[in-house]
Amino acid sequence: MNAPTSLSSAIAASFEAAVSVAVLAAALSSAPARAAPLCIDAVNPQYFHYAGKTTPLVGYSPEYICHLEQRAGTAEVAQLCNYNLDAASGKRNYERVIDELALRHLNVLRVWAGLGHSPGGAAGPLPHEQPFAYNAIDGTWDLHTWNQTFFDRLKQVVAYAQSKGVIVEVTLFDAYSGDFRTSPWYPGKNSSGYLGLNDEWTLTAAPGATCAPFNTATNIYSRQKAFVEKLVAELNVYDNLYWELANEPELSIVKAGYNSSGAVVADTVSVPRIVKWHECMTDIVRNAEGTVASPKRHPIAANYHTQTALAPFRSIISPTYAPDVRILTGHYIKVRDAGRLSATEKQRTYLNASLQGIPRMYGFNEGRPTPSYRSTGSFDYITPDEARAEAWEFMLSEGGIYNHYTTDWSATGGAEPQQTRVQLGKLADFLAGLSPHLRHMSRSTGDPPGWAPNLPVYGTARGASNVYWGAMHQNASTYVLYVHHSNPSADAFKAYAKPANITRLTTLDLQPAAAATNYTGEWINPGTGARIGATFAVPADGVRRTYSVPAYSYDIALKISNGAVTPSSGTCAP
């Protein structure tokens, strides 16, 4: 263990520990009482159940390390979610971020716990950036000595989020970003006698066909297991979290990495090995939870992109972990080619039962970030309007999670990051307004959906743009539709691009099911949440009729409902 080298540092460490306990106690005391932790909804497993409600998640995550302290004077202090103290407000920056989420009615934040690199980079590690103790003299990590401050700060973030009604997606590992040669898992970077993993991709690909490496004390994979077990023990008390096994384990078939000699190599990803790693990691989480010491069980998500990796989820028999992985998260609206599926493609493909659908909740937890005014030669940013389009389409196609990604939280006063948060908050409000119908709503399959029969086929060119939509309904009760006109960007990881001009819809046929009570329709501006014009009557006789669509410049939403409510009971799916 790296003990304090002076009395003053020991006192400082003791003081920080005391403050941590006080902050945790305050956050927990203000948290609302709950009957159960976050779980999959018993009636509609495309959503969570939390605090007594069927709960979709809509959020905005500024990078991934809210519990880490950035170096003073760097741009990251203002741009990212972090542990730094804001002198003006007297709050930690992560508190300011979570306060803003709650203000906008956004309810999910993504945090990465196990990093595959050192975000401190060449200048050395950030304070308490890894769960392991760091030896500054020889620049190595001690994989057998925990850095308790790392866990205490992470707990503060989760506890504060719980007090504000915000769910935390805890991503267990990442192998995709940064310089892997600075990682505790790299050969020569730990002082525990481990050879380290050969390259950054094998961080999420266990060797062999069994989980034996995780249970072998002399194998570095055993320290991954130990870290996850420690993380479960520290966070189990909280209700407001779910686990994501890893970030982008197989998004690209080849990725430049570093071998054990430090040379740059092209690393071929073995998808079966990654699937095995997920199976082993799921077993580790499941065995660590539900015990006397850690009684709560939290949902588990897998972040897969290749169809090869997704294929086993079509069966609950092989692999055996499939029943426990209840959420599939994805990135972008389209990824590179047909062999890899984005969040939107996964949702549209696998919710269709005729294609051997995978019955899991679907999440969209990373896409092109805002602000759009930041640009590089190789990375495109998107505007608030474009972020709104992908979010509304995904969530009105029975998506369970939309968590927008940003590289800049700092801008306020109407600048793009704040605009995006405000607009996503309007989506959250719209979804909240569907309660209690949401629990009984399902994606309107068909292209176009049967209750809007003359809607253009998804992605059909119309004027200067394509027509995209998302639709859900509770039969004979409530129907919702979102339409936008976008062009997919030209790069490998696509986003929606708002065209300069569109040829909008001017009429729309509606044919909701026959019911005892007539429907009331309303058109909505998705950017503001405001109703467009007056409400209009939709007869409940099951007859197809044509209705005028009010003018809009990019997108529009529709809700028709007669208020019929279906009673139901039950909270968590088994």
Residue 423 has pLDDT above 60, yes or no: yes
Residue 253 has pLDDT above 70, yes or no: no
All domains in the chain, ordered by first residue: 9-433 (3.20.20.80), 460-561 (2.60.40)
pLDDT in the model for residue 262 = 57
Q: What is residue 93's three-state secondary structure?
A: helix
Residue 181 vs residue 501, higher pLDDT: 501
pLDDT in the model for residue 353 = 55
In angstroms, the CA 65 to CA 82 distance is 6
Report the alpha-carbon angle 98-103-106, nearest 5: 70
Q: Report the amino acid identity of residue 573.
A: A
pLDDT in the model for residue 412 = 79
When pLDDT is cut at 50, 70 and 90, the band that residue 255 belongs to is very low
Neighbours of 516 (CB within 10 A): 8
When pLDDT is cut at 50, 70 and 90, the band that residue 240 belongs to is very high
Q: What is the mean pLDDT of residues 486-490?
A: 92
Q: Two tokens at 446?
A: 């068909």
The string of pLDDT tens digits covering residues 98-154 is 999 999 999 999 999 999 899 998 899 999 999 999 999 999 999 999 999 999 999
Q: What is the mean pLDDT of residues 21-45?
A: 66
Q: Is 570 left (phi over 0), alpha (psi -120 to 50) or beta?
A: left
Residue for token pair 């760097």? 74
Cis before 448 (ω within 30)? yes
Q: What is the mean pLDDT of residues 291-305?
A: 95
pLDDT in the model for residue 366 = 94
Residue 158 has pLDDT above 90, yes or no: yes
pLDDT in the model for residue 258 = 53
The string of pLDDT tens digits covering residues 374-402 is 766 666 899 999 999 999 999 999 999 99
Backbone angles phi, psi at 24, to 5 degrees: -60, -45
Mean pLDDT of the chain: 88
pLDDT in the model for residue 474 = 97
Q: Which residues pair with 136 in a beta bridge?
A: none
Task: With 0.95 as the threshold, say if the pTM is over it.
Answer: no
The string of pLDDT tens digits covering residues 533-548 is 999 999 999 999 999 9
Q: What is the mean pLDDT of residues 336-340?
A: 79
pLDDT in the model for residue 3 = 34
pLDDT in the model for residue 214 = 95
Q: What is the mean pLDDT of residues 246-250?
A: 87
pLDDT in the model for residue 111 = 97
The string of pLDDT tens digits covering residues 166-201 is 999 999 998 777 888 899 998 889 998 898 887 676
pLDDT in the model for residue 538 = 98
Residue for token pair 């989480």? 285
The string of pLDDT tens digits covering residues 201-210 is 678 888 778 8
pLDDT in the model for residue 293 = 96
Q: What is the mean pLDDT of residues 353-376?
A: 81
Residue 29 has pLDDT above 50, yes or no: no
Strands 545-548 and 493-494: unpaired
Strands 325-331 and 300-303: parallel
**H helix and E strand count, the chain:** 10, 29
Instruction: Name the least confident of 28-37, 304-313, 514-523.
Output: 28-37
